[in-house]
Structure 1
Amino acid sequence: MTKREAAAQCVQSLYGSLSLSLSLPLPSPRLKRAVLSLAPSTLRRLGVKGVEIRKPEQLETVASLIIPGGESTTMAKLAEYHNLFPALREFVKMGKPVWGTCAGLIFLANKATGQKIGGQELIGGLDCTVHRNFFGSQIQSFEAELAVPELASREGGPEVFRGVFIRAPAILDVGPEVQVMADYLVQSNEVLDSNSAVEAQEENTGSEKKVIVAVRQRNLLATAFHPELTADTRWHSYFLKMATETGEEASSSIVAVGADLNLDQQPKIDLPIFQ
């Protein structure tokens, strides 16, 4: 997909100001401006700009959705307060592309473990079990090189991707229709907040445990890490193409972006967040 192909996207951020939507720029007499607050350099390099979505009915105006990271319990409370869960579940059932990163992954999972007392409401749709905060607390955040052969074959570039894990979840098991796109090998003593998760992986021998950190199931994409914190835009590009693959038509949602969006001048320096 080029920067001028017709596909409207949506980014929903339930942490904070609720949500953002994305749309690829096309020549149009209409001009719709918005505040872009989620990974602006990553999205802008792909010709994407965000606008806010705060109400369930606004989901009807977009073709795809990204649920980014944040504090998942707080995000769930906000979604419940604004009555977004029914609309989000319908969005998934309609087959529209949805990408969940970190907390967004938790939302998309059919089952979540390691939650706070009382748990949290999930959107569901992704046939997997995810462990919340599998890798420990905020101070256990880390970076790791991940093998991503499928992503590389589709988007080009190196066979590895630098994943940034921030108080990250991990996928413990997946259903038969789920494609594993990346996993991570951890030492059992590295998993500090996930005793039940380690026990659930007894089929792995030795001191190393393999957990899944990126998957796709039809229209759903999920990553336990934060691709927006690096200069590598391949995950974002891959997701933008999913709208075309799933046959979504978004001509009514296409908007032009203003002259303030200068793609050629966006910095492409990688971000050494955690060394």
Structure 2
Amino acid sequence: MTTIGVLALQGAVREHIRAIESVGAKAVAIKYKEELEDLDGLVLPGGESTTMRKLIDRYDMMPALRLFATSGKPMFGTCAGLILLANNIVDYKEPHVGVMGVEVERNSFGRQVDSFEVLLNLKGIGAEFPAVFIRAPHIVNVGEGVDVLGKYEGRIVLARDGQFLGCSFHPELTEDTRIMKYFVNMVKESKHSVLA
């Protein structure tokens, strides 16, 4: 069984767990760094990136998260999770986990009251995916080898950099499991390549 953790410090943890389980993988809420060791993949959920960083530091999880990233195991960041993964953040001196070759800008689509939902066509995933944007960031630039999977009004909102997947919106808040299925497949492929 493929086991995927959801960083459970803040944000839409329950919704991600439900989405992971609905596509046939085991989901585990992760609150301590020691729990990262038994995972095949990890989701960094939406929430508030500054608050999440404070909690990551409080529980001394940053070294373990970076180690997890260097192990080759896939990581998926949604909304604030994308900000945590990005190796560059507009108007910030340094990144958080900083492992995905993208530059992001926070709150690109307005405040909480400006939340909206649109249908997007996503490369490798399918057409008319219902994307929920809540105080969402967007990807301003991508590094070499980063695959752009989705755009909204010219802005990059979904991208993959090797074992890292980053998303501006909240796929876990819809009944559409195609993006989570895509990530779970990334994890399964990574597991097989490690075993091979």
> TM over 0.5, yes or no?
yes
Report the counterpart of residue 112 of structure 2 in structure 1. 138
Match among 241, 246, 255 for residue 190 of structure 2: 246
Query: Corresponding residue for 1:173?
Result: 141
Aligned-partner SS, 2:97: coil
Q: Deviation digits for residues 54-86 of structure 1, max 9, x if unmatched? A: 221221111110000001111000001111111
Instruction: Name which one, 1 or 2, has greater alpha-carbon Rg.
Output: 1
- Go from structure 1 to structure 2 and tell me whether the alpha carbon gap of 1:56 and 1:39 turns closer, same or farther (over 3 Å shift): closer
What corresponds to 1:225 in structure 2? 169
Instruction: Give the structure 2 partner of residue 113 of structure 1.
Output: 90
> Matches of 2:94 and 2:106 in 1, distance apart?
11
Identify which of 48, 72, 84 aligns with 1:71: 48
Per-residue deviation at 1:140? Answer: 1.1
- Structure 1 unaligned residues grouped into runs of 5+: 1-5, 21-36, 153-158, 186-209, 252-275
Query: Which aligned pairs between 1:7-18 and structure 2 lie closer than 5 A?
Result: 7-15=2-10
Structure 1 vs Structure 2: percent identity of aligned residues? 41
Matched, 1:212 2:149: no
Moved more, 231-240 or 51-60: 51-60
Q: CA contact under 8 A between 1:73 and 1:120: conserved in structure 2?
A: no
Q: Number of paired residues?
A: 195
d(CA) in 2 for partners of 1:225 and 1:98?
16
- Helix, strand or coil at the partner of 1:150: coil
The residue correspondences of 1:44-83 to structure 2 (distance < 5 A) are 44-83=21-60
CA distance in 1, matches of 2:5, 2:16: 13
> In the alignment, residue 143 of structure 2 is paired with which amino acid?
G
**2:82 aligned with 1:125, yes or no?**
no
- Structure-2 change in CA distance of 1:11 and 1:250 (3 Å): farther
Q: Is the 8 A contact 2:8 2:31 kept in 1?
A: no
CA contact 1:114–1:133 (8 Å) conserved in 2 = no
- Asked if the contact 1:63/1:248 (under 8 Å) is kept, the reply is no
Structure with more of its chain in strand, by fraction: 2
- Structure with greater contact order relative to length (CA < 8 Å, sep ≥ 6): 1
Residues 197-233 of structure 1, C-alpha deviations (whole Å, 9 max, x = no match)? xxxxxxxxxxxxx110000011000110000111110
Unaligned residue ranges in structure 2 (runs of 5+):
none
The question of 1:236 aligning with 2:157 is answered no
Select between 56-65 and 70-79 the one with higher mean Cα deviation. 56-65
Q: Distance in 2 between matches of 1:133 and 1:56?
A: 28
Counterpart AA for 1:215: A
- Does the 8 Å contact 2:15/2:173 carry over to 1? no
2:80 to 99, 103, 106: 103
Q: Deviation per CA, 1:150-177: give whole Å up to 9, x if none.
A: 212xxxxxx2211100000000010111
Structure 1: how far apart are the matches of 2:69 and 2:18?
A: 27
Alignment of 1:178-197 (within 5 A): 178-185=146-153
Q: CA RMSD in A?
A: 2.3
| TM-score calculated relative to the size of structure 1 | 0.66
Normalised TM-score (structure 2): 0.90
Pick the structure with more helix per residue. 2
SS in 1 for 2:87: strand
